[in-house]
Amino acid sequence: MPDHDDHDERYGEITARFYDGAYAKLRTPSGDAAFYHALARETGGPVLELGCGTGRTLLPIAKDGIACTGLDASPAMLAAFAAKDPPACLRLVEGRMQDFDLGEDRFALVTAPFRAFQHLQDVDDQLACLARVKRHLVPGGAFAFDCFDPRLDRIALREEPESEDARFRDGDDEIVRTTAVTREHAIQRQQVRMHYTRLRDGQVVSRERSDFAMRWFFRYELEHLLARAGFVEIRLFGDFDCSPYGADSNELIFVARRPV
């Protein structure tokens, strides 16, 4: 075993290689793919997904025959998505959420599933993203995204020590994922470090690391950002079954519209 970790940052090759295996075991957040699929069917498309990754939420929509575009800043994640042989109605584009430009293309629905918006660290980038989304929506089109709800009992700790959260197979090997979190409360940011340890016949043969940062948001902070960016009809749900947001909610799920 090497005496150092191979590592990447912001969803590079290591994350792309293990992403599907880990989240097939985690099955979290529950119901998000069905939620976005239902919105896509309701609007009829076309659909743009920001931070599409390996296609966990977008591929089922495209397989339903709805025209889709997937945007991601990670070439490795896009390559993993493309390897799944997506249907012809889907195209993949490398780009960043805060400055993408798809020309004259307009969409009935733009989505940013699974905390994608939380990778935008500062207000300028957040507003830039919202401006790009609004520009690429048809009049009356919808923007839907989710963030985890930063309940105080959850974010009070400055550090969460490394612990196992997923175990899955990769060929004949077993992969154990462990995650540690460090929080900077003054700037509402948490640094996430994931280790992927490969076991072969019970012995450690490699250990790889992926690091990324996430910004957490509070309810009214997001409502203010959406209003400031010119969105209307802002709706908030507390879960992917469209239940109202409340004190025990784990999710902040927003659906807002570009004015007609």
Q: What is the pLDDT of residue 28?
A: 72
3-class DSSP string for 185-212: HHHCEEEEEEEEEEEECCEEEEEEEEEE
Exposure string for 55-86, b = 16+ CB within 10 A, e = fewer: bbbbbebbeeebbbbbbbbbebbbebbeeeeb
For residue 64, give the 3-state DSSP assignment. coil
Q: Which domain holds residue 164?
A: 6-24+156-215
Closest CA to 40 of 64, 21, 76, 74: 64
86 & 140 share domain: yes
Together in a domain, 98 and 193: no
Rounded Cα–Cα distance for residues 1 and 204 (Å): 7
pLDDT attached to residue 2: 46
Q: Are residues 180 and 121 in the same domain?
A: no
Q: Which amino acid is at 23?
A: Y
Instruction: Count other Cβ atoms within 10 Å, centred on residue 127.
Output: 15
* Residue 246, in any domain of the structure: yes
Q: In what order do the strands lie in the sheet with 137-148?
A: 90-94, 68-72, 47-50, 107-112, 137-148, 251-257, 232-237
Quote the pLDDT of residue 139. Answer: 99
Dihedral (Cα; 51, 57, 28, 214), 10-degree rounding: 10
pLDDT at 29 (0 to 100): 83
How far is the C-alpha of 9 from the C-alpha of 193, rounded, in Å?
9
* Residue 95, domain member (yes or no): yes
Q: Does 71 fall in a domain?
A: yes
Whichever domain contains 45, its CATH number is 3.40.50.150
Q: Are strands 159-170 and 137-148 parallel, antiparallel or unpaired?
A: unpaired
Residue 8 has what pLDDT? 66
In a domain, 129, yes or no: yes
Domains held by the chain: number:
2
Query: Is residue 212 within 8 Å of residue 11, measured between CB atoms?
Result: yes
Nearest-CA neighbor of 94 among 74, 67, 116? 74
Residues 115 and 182 in one domain: no
Same domain membership, residue 236 and residue 203: no
**Residues 156-212: pLDDT tens digits?**
999 999 999 999 999 999 999 999 999 999 999 999 999 999 999 999 999 999 999
Question: Which stretches of the chain drop beneath a pLDDT of 70?
Answer: 1-10
Residue 119 and residue 75 share a domain: yes
Same domain, 90 and 122: yes
11 and 67 within one domain: no
**For position 154, what pLDDT does the model report?**
84
